[in-house]
């Protein structure tokens, strides 16, 4: 029984990518045609997630998916400035379920996992205000597996650009 509960919790963590998108209701997204990558920050204790190669993969994925949405990447005078932050942290999830004689006791199981978070900000270049933000969380038990999901962590949120009102 205990192994079944652990397997169910592990399975729920295996597909736990969450995506949140926020945007400025007053922004006119039809006028944004160009973008440039301004800044990307990595903040992780894990070498697999804190390297120039990871930064390059995120840069390329953002450029590719925003271009697929009809935006053009430029060097000078963009309509949108793109900034992102990527970090990871070690977390522990606590599961409680009935145990013991007739279920009057409680068994506590701690399940360690790694949470990777990618925040992508699109800022209006003229006013320097934030007009669109996505936050993607990926929960895995291994930082290397999060590195393998970076493309999806960019693709899923950018698929929601431009926002529908």
Name the E strands within the chain. 18-23, 34-43, 72-73, 80-99, 105-124, 130-140
pLDDT digits 0-9 by tens, 15-41:
557 899 999 999 999 999 999 999 898
Q: What is the pTM of this model?
A: 0.76
Tokens of 102: 């007739």
pLDDT at 158: 95
CA distance 41 to 30: 28
Contact 104, 14 (CB under 8 A): no
pLDDT at 32: 96
CA distance 29 to 109: 47
CA distance 72 to 32: 10
Q: Sketch out the chain's domains with CATH numbers.
A: 2-158 (3.30.160.670)
pLDDT at 98: 67
pLDDT at 102: 66
pLDDT at 59: 96
pLDDT digits 0-9 by tens, 63-83:
999 999 999 999 999 999 999
Contact 121, 132 (CB under 8 A): yes
CA distance 92 to 111: 5
Residue ranges of the chain whose pLDDT lies below 70: 1-16, 90-91, 93, 97-103, 111-114
pLDDT at 107: 72
Contact 107, 99 (CB under 8 A): yes
pLDDT at 10: 44
């Amino acid at each position: 029984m205990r192994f079944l509960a652990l397997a169910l919790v592990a399975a729920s963590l295996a597909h736990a990518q969450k995506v949140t998108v926020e945007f400025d209701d007053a922004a006119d997204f039809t006028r944004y045609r160009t973008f440039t990558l301004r800044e990307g920050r990595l903040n992780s204790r894990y070498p697999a997630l804190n390297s120039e190669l990871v930064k390059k993969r995120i840069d390329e994925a953002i450029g590719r998916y925003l271009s697929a949405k009809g935006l053009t990447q430029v060097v000078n005078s963009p309509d949108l400035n793109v900034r992102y932050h990527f970090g990871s942290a070690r977390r522990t999830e606590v599961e409680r379920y009935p145990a013991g004689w007739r279920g009057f006791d409680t068994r506590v199981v701690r399940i360690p996992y790694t949470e990777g978070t990618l925040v992508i900000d699109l800022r209006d270049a003229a006013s320097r205000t934030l007009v669109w933000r996505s936050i993607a969380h990926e929960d895995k038990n291994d930082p290397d597996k999060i590195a393998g999901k970076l493309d999806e962590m960019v693709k899923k949120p950018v698929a929601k650009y431009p926002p529908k009102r």
